[in-house]
């Protein structure tokens, strides 16, 4: 990987730590990339039976899995 990418990634990780990013923030960002942020936000706080489209719980679950795997792979790399 190039030094430019390494520096950019280090800056992004620093921004994540300093801003206090949560799993929910990652899920919201993922929903936003998919063009579904409004549905994600509308379903926040609803019960499973009221979560009609599954956007909130689905993206939250995927974000949890993403972070879990990233942490696992980081441990393996060391």
Cβ-based neighbour number of residue 41 at 10 Å: 14
pLDDT at 40 over 70: yes
Cβ-based neighbour number of residue 18 at 10 Å: 8
For 27-46, what is the mean pLDDT?
92
Distance CA 60, CA 78 (A): 28
Distance CA 48, CA 31 (A): 18
Reported pTM: 0.81
pLDDT of residue 22: 95
The model's confidence at residue 51, banded by pLDDT at 50, 70 and 90, is low
């Amino acid at each position: 990987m190039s030094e430019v990418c390494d520096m950019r990634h280090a800056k992004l990780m620093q921004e994540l730590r300093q801003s206090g990013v949560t799993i929910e923030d990652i899920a919201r960002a993922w929903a936003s990339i998919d063009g579904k942020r409004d549905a994600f936000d509308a379903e926040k706080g609803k019960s499973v039976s009221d979560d009609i489209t599954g956007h909130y719980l689905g993206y939250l679950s995927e974000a949890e899995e993403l972070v879990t795997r990233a942490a696992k792979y980081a441990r393996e790399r060391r």
